[in-house]
Amino acid sequence: MLLENKTAVIYGGGGAIGGAMARGFAAEGARVFLAGRTPATLDTVADDIRQAGGLAETAWVDALDEDAVNGYVDTVAATAGGIDISVNLISHDALFMPLIEMPIGDFSRAMEKVARTFLLTTQAAARHMIKQGSGVILHFGGSDSTAHMPGLGTVQVGCDMVEAMRRQWACELGQHSIRVLSIRTGGIPESIGDMPQMEPIKQQMVDATLLKRAATLADVGRVAAFLASDHAASLTSTQVNISAGAMVD
């Protein structure tokens, strides 16, 4: 197994993407700690993992609360003997509208949330990873330098902020053998629900790809598990493109 005896912490672990990564990590032998603010969804993912023979634990954690995050990570590290993988997948509260119309306060709050949670959760994990001399911090979303769609509001700006932090963290943590990576997609149709009005958007995601199939949640889980494993030991400070050719630089 790729992640046998590894410990993974996933903030937003009850969501579609978080759940996919959790299942992917657990399938490869990792002990998964799911953190979030919706116990029901966390329990659903944890139950799936346990039924498949994996190890999963859940906790209510506000990923914007410094004391809560640090206390949680310290507890996980003490329980499991360390932190090997940290992933933050909490909602960005994205605002879709032209920037010219964006209320300054709304924009500032959205950007503050992204900056605060990613800095906080990475700091908490990095402290433990530095002590053990290894670890992987994984982000999801990615930056798109070719973006030309108006009205995205805080969406792409927030993703670009995360990518800038990813690059800086990789520079600072590389000397401790800690890798920092991002997964970039062109959209995961499964993650946006089954509402009839969303079907055209799902089809657009597929049509935009070169392979004529969009990435699936299972793809996300498998790629994330590989990136977190020693098989990807030479990868850091980069985006991994699983957009099926929807995004080509």
Could you give the count of Cα atoms lying within 13 Å of 23 in the half-sphere of its Cβ? 21
pTM of the model: 0.94
C-beta of residue 217 within 8 angstroms of C-beta of residue 188: yes
Q: How many C-beta neighbours within 10 Å does residue 132 have? A: 15
Residue 196 binned pLDDT confidence (cut-offs 50, 70, 90): confident
Q: What angle do CA 30, 35, 36 make, to 5 degrees?
A: 145
The domains found in the chain, sorted by start residue, are 7-241 (3.40.50.720)
Q: Which residues contact 168 (CB under 8 A, 6 or more apart)?
A: none
138-179 confidence digits (pLDDT tens) = 999 877 776 666 777 788 888 899 999 999 999 999 999 999
Are residues 184 and 218 in contact, defined by beta-carbon separation less than 8 angstroms? no
**Each residue of 234-248: pLDDT tens digit?**
999 999 999 999 888
